[in-house]
Amino acid sequence: MKPKPIDRQELQSIIDRHRDRKWALIPLLQEVQETFGYVPPESIEPIADALKLFSTQVQGVITFYAGFSLEPKGKYVVRVCRGTACHVKGGRSILRLMKKELDLDEGETGEDYRFTLETVACLGACFLAPTMMVNLTYFGKLSPPKVASVLGQYKKDKGD
Ligand code: FES
């Protein structure tokens, strides 16, 4: 999914709905990210102004929470676990295979914005090692054929 161009009016109306409510920073950022697929960097200043925060505070929250991104991501965000439990069960070869299948390196998004490849310290499902997620769906006890079949399902979706 190619990133949606930023509709400034839409962005402003989201911000206005949360104006003066400092505690609403996270829900506001979630709404911006759901609407545009990421948090556009140019939205930081107006968000900070509306909530009477410093820009650095807004930036800090975005950086702290892995769920927020300042860059557009692919329609499918693939997160491969590189934690110890997954590592000892072959996580490294899963990551290698994923890089090859998607032709992406860690942290990269394809030019067509279909896939983003990321690694995470632990997906919190060590008993299923080695694991990965595609958006919010977990896949565990991975093997190279299972990875190929899971990715095959997503690759079939030619998307928008
Ligand atoms: S180490 Fe991979 S899920 Fe925890």
Residue 86, Cβ neighbours under 10 Å: how many?
27
Q: What is the pLDDT of residues 9-38, one digit of tens each?
A: 999 999 999 999 989 999 999 999 888 889
Which one has a higher pLDDT value, 8 or 157? Answer: 8
83 in contact with ligand 1, CB cutoff 6 A? yes
Confidence band for 159, pLDDT divided at 50, 70 and 90: low
82's CB contacts (< 8 A; 6+ apart) are 91, 92, 95, 119, 120, 121
pLDDT beyond 60 at 1: no
Does domain 8-64 bear CATH number 3.90.1720?
Answer: no
Shortest-distance atom of ligand 1 to CA 128: 3
d(CA 119, CA 47) in angstroms, rounded, equals 29
Confidence band for 4, pLDDT divided at 50, 70 and 90: low
Ligand 1 center to 3 CA (angstroms): 30
129 in contact with ligand 1, CB cutoff 6 A? yes
d(CA 75, CA 132) in angstroms, rounded, equals 16
Asked if 84 contacts 53 with a C-beta cutoff of 8 angstroms, the reply is no
Ranges in the chain annotated CATH 1.10.10: 8-64
Ranges in the chain annotated CATH 3.40.30.10: 76-156
Ligand 1 center to 14 CA (angstroms): 36
> What pLDDT shows up at residue 136?
85
d(CA 76, CA 20) in angstroms, rounded, equals 34
Q: Name the residue among 32, 28, 8 with its Cα closest to residue 20.
A: 28
Nearest CA to ligand 1 atom 1: 83
d(CA 4, CA 142) in angstroms, rounded, equals 33
Q: What is the CATH number of domain 76-156?
A: 3.40.30.10
Q: What is the pLDDT of residues 62-109, one digit of tens each?
A: 988 878 899 898 989 999 999 999 999 999 999 999 999 999 999 999
pLDDT beyond 70 at 130: yes
pLDDT beyond 90 at 142: yes
